[in-house]
């Protein structure tokens, strides 16, 4: 139980750090974007205008969230090591696993708050432009959040194994970009020089972020079955757990110079 | 807190502790940072851990605190193996050149640390306030650490090391970066801890501080223990009987060249051993010199340190 309290303490501090470091300032851009879109799109037909606001809102949540998850995530551990701010903390009754989990949970909470506030912004924009607050939007927002959790797990993993924040950033960007364009990896089979087994291994090793993209389906009113959402949840949980486990192994035995 | 000093288990014990780091291209070579380190620190003593830069002081402390892992050997803290986390609640640690989250104020940082120790909110607040006063940060308690000087960060470091009311305090270069007032403050804290029966283990290369504070010291050179013992034992062993004679005028021809250690105008200083003193005084009388003073020379820790470091051809930078 006390372990959980320590994880919550680290998470709370991580959340406070992101707030104090002005990470949530992206919300200002989001607000400006939403306001501008609602003002500029007034001339379009009713359905068009609603779709564009929803599209913009969901895409912004995804993009801003990914940037935060990636760039804050890679610093979660490596920055602490470089600045030596974790030295006094690890000498306290705080295990390295608790520290990792606390950092992970803290950034996920930041993303949750961020996405929550953006969702409210999107709903307000829809209402302001005389549309209804479509509850089906949640079916697109929830997978976006799952995808962001997975980005944090990837970033945290590289943050724990890389010797510098820069390397961690480069690797994380590579994996996130590859995961967002996983079809490209699959199509590499057509390039004769690349062995099939390598393409298959790469395709399965890199998390497939396209699984979480149901934005178009929701905007165009297509159904998103609950079973699909359950699968996404399981995928995100299992993949994140594996990455956190690997991060724990690497970080747990690492000398902190 | 009731600290028992009669417990036979040492506060710290090292047994054949060795640590090396990978160096070179593709980390194919290893450089020894600590070699076969074996010594104990008794409960209730103030123990100075001395050595030049790069001699392995910080590596020893990091190994204790679980920040790096030993290759071989064992260390125990308050009688417990390093792997047993139970000792962590009873120990305070100040890292070398500490860095704290610069977006927090001292009060917030200490509150965070208190939560990691599982202290209740009221105890956290009470102790944080008392320690902020003790380390002299009362005017900066609500100022973000990013505005702190190096010395102020060091003071906050000391406060966080004491928040859990520790039995053992491990300080890595606690005087570093401090002005004379700050150093005096740290000395005061160490003496307070000693009065309360706590154990203080601190590394330093500021030797006068070690000389003032320590019951015992260990001297480290290139990762190996050179000497460990009480200061009076270490310093008096070689030159207990050395005397300095200050004379004025006269002819010093009857005094061996080796004994003449300095000359300033009419005055000269001589260094002789106790058995040589009588003969020297007679020679001085014959030469017509006036003896101004005769006093025993007590070697300082700094002299000893320089001499010992010189034996190894100088420690690594």
Residue B259: which residues within 8 A CB-CB, separation 6 or more?
Answer: B270, B271, B272, B276, B280
Inter-chain CB proximity B116 and A83 less than 8 Å: no
The closest CB to that of A255, out of B65, B68, B101, belongs to: B68
Q: Interface pTM (ipTM) of the complex?
A: 0.90
Same domain, B100 and B248: no
SS3 A4: helix
A119: left (phi over 0), alpha (psi -120 to 50) or beta: alpha
Q: B65 CB near a chain A CB, below 8 Å? A: yes
Same domain, B108 and B257: no
Same domain, B82 and B112: yes
Would you say residue B303 lies in a domain?
no
Same domain, B69 and B154: yes
A84 CB neighbours in chain B (<8 A) are: 95, 97-99
CA dist., res. A11 & res. B193, Å (int): 33
Q: Which residue has the tokens 């002789």?
A: B272
The closest CB to that of B65, out of A91, A93, A257, belongs to: A91
CA dist., res. A251 & res. A254, Å (int): 5
Q: How would you class B170 by CB atoms within 10 Å of its CB: exposed for 0-12, middle for 13-18, buried for 19 or more?
A: buried
How far does B63 lie from chain A, in Å, by closest CA? 9
The number of helices, as runs of H, and strands, as runs of E, in chain B is 9, 14
Tokens of A198: 């390598």
Would you say residue B2 lies in a domain?
no
Q: B157 CB near a chain A CB, below 8 Å? A: yes
Supply the pLDDT for residue B5.
47
Give the angle subtended at the CA of A107 by the CAs of A105 and A109, to the nearest 5°: 70
Chains A and B form CB pairs within 8 A to the count of 78
A76 CB neighbours in chain B (<8 A) are: none
The range of the structural domain enclosing residue B264 comes to 242-296
Q: What is the pLDDT of residues B19-40, one digit of tens each?
A: 999 887 777 788 899 999 999 9
In the predicted model, is pLDDT for residue A121 greater than 60? yes
Inter-chain CB proximity A17 and B68 less than 8 Å: no
CATH number where B200 lies? 3.40.50.300
Same domain, B111 and B218: yes
Would you say residue B5 lies in a domain?
no
SS3 B19: strand
Same domain, B83 and B223: yes
Cβ–Cβ < 8 Å for A35, A53: no
Structural domains in chain B (count): 2
B245: left (phi over 0), alpha (psi -120 to 50) or beta: beta
Same domain, B201 and B226: yes
The closest CB to that of B93, out of A17, A84, A88, belongs to: A88
Same domain, B156 and B282: no
CA dist., res. B278 & res. B259, Å (int): 14
Strand-pair partners of B18: B72
Would you say residue B155 lies in a domain?
yes
> Mean pLDDT in chain A?
90
Supply the pLDDT for residue B236.
64
Would strands B199-204 and B46-51 be described as parallel, antiparallel, or unpaired? parallel
Inter-chain CB proximity B113 and A92 less than 8 Å: yes
Same domain, B148 and B267: no
Same domain, B136 and B269: no
Domain boundary among B236, B261, B285: B236
The distance of Cα B291 from the centroid of its chain, to the nearest Å, equals 39
Would you say residue B314 lies in a domain?
no
Same domain, B132 and B41: yes
The pTM for the full model equals: 0.86
Would you say residue B105 lies in a domain?
yes
Would you say residue B188 lies in a domain?
yes
| Residue ranges for chain B with pLDDT beneath 70 | 1-7, 236-240, 298-299, 311-317
Q: Which residue has the tokens 């209740």?
A: B120
Under DSSP, the state recorded for B53 is: T
Same domain, B274 and B228: no
The closest CB to that of B117, out of A84, A87, A92, belongs to: A92
CATH number where B288 lies? 3.30.1490
A93 CB neighbours in chain B (<8 A) are: 85, 88-89, 116-118
Q: What is the pLDDT of residues A170-207, one digit of tens each?
A: 999 999 999 998 877 777 777 767 788 888 888 888 89
Q: What is the pLDDT of residues B72-99, one digit of tens each?
A: 999 999 999 999 999 999 999 999 999 9
Cβ–Cβ < 8 Å for B231, B211: yes
- Rounded to 10 degrees, what is the CA torsion of B234, B236, B237, B240? 170
The closest CB to that of A93, out of B69, B88, B98, belongs to: B88
């Amino acid at each position: 139980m006390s372990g959980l309290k320590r994880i919550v303490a680290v998470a709370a501090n991580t959340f406070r750090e992101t707030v104090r470091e002005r990470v949530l300032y992206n919300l200002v851009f989001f607000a400006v974007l939403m306001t501008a879109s609602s003002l500029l799109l007034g001339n379009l037909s009713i359905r068009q205008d609603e779709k564009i606001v929803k599209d913009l809102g969901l895409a912004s949540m995804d993009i801003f969230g990914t940037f935060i998850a990636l760039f804050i995530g890679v610093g979660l551990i490596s920055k602490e090591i470089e600045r030596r701010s974790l030295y006094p903390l690890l000498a306290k009754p705080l295990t390295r696993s608790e520290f990792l989990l606390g950092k992970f949970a803290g950034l996920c909470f930041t993303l949750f708050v961020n996405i929550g506030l953006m969702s409210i912004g999107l709903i307000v924009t829809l209402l302001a432009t005389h549309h209804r607050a479509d509850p089906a939007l949640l079916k697109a927002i929830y997978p976006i959040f799952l995808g962001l959790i997975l980005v944090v797990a990837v970033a945290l993993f590289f943050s724990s194994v890389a010797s510098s924040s820069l390397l961690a950033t480069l690797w994380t960007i590579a994996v996130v970009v590859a995961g967002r364009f996983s079809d490209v990896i699959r199509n590499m089979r057509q390039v004769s020089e690349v062995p099939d087994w390598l393409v298959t291994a790469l395709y399965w090793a890199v998390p497939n972020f396209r699984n979480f993209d149901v934005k178009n389906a929701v905007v165009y009113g297509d159904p998103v079955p609950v079973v699909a959402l359950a699968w996404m949840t399981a995928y995100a949980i299992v993949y994140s757990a594996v990455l956190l486990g690997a991060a724990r192994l690497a970080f747990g035995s690492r000398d902190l110079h | 807190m009731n600290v028992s000093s009669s417990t036979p288990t040492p506060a710290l014990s090292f047994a054949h502790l060795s640590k090396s780091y990978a160096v070179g291209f593709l980390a194919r070579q290893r450089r020894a940072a600590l070699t076969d380190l074996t010594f104990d620190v008794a409960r209730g003593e103030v123990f100075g851990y001395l050595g030049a830069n790069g001699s392995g002081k910080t590596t020893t402390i990091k190994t204790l605190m679980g920040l790096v892992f030993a290759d071989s050997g064992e260390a125990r803290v308050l009688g417990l193996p390093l792997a047993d986390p139970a000792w962590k609640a009873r120990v305070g640690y100040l890292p070398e050149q500490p860095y704290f989250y610069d977006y927090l104020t001292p009060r917030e940082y200490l509150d965070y640390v208190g939560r990691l120790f599982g202290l209740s909110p009221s105890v956290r607040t009470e102790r944080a306030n008392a320690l902020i006063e003790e380390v002299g940060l009362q005017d900066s308690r609500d100022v973000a650490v990013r505005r702190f000087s190096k010395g102020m960060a060091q003071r906050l470091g000391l406060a966080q090391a004491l928040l859990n009311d520790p039995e053992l305090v491990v300080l890595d270069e606690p005087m570093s970066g401090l002005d004379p007032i700050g150093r005096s403050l740290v000395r005061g804290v160490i003496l307070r801890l000693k009065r309360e029966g706590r154990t203080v283990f601190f590394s330093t290369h500021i030797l006068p501080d070690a000389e003032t504070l320590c019951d015992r010291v260990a001297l480290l050179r290139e990762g190996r223990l050179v000497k460990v013992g009480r200061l009076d034992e270490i310093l008096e062993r070689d030159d207990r009987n050395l005397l300095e004679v200050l004379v004025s005028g006269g002819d010093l021809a009857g005094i061996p060249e080796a004994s003449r250690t300095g000359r300033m105008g009419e005055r000269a200083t001589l260094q002789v051993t106790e058995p040589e003193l009588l003969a020297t005084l007679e020679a001085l009388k014959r030469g017509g010199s006036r003896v101004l003073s005769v006093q025993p020379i007590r070697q300082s820790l700094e002299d000893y340190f320089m001499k010992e470091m010189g034996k190894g051809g100088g420690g690594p930078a």
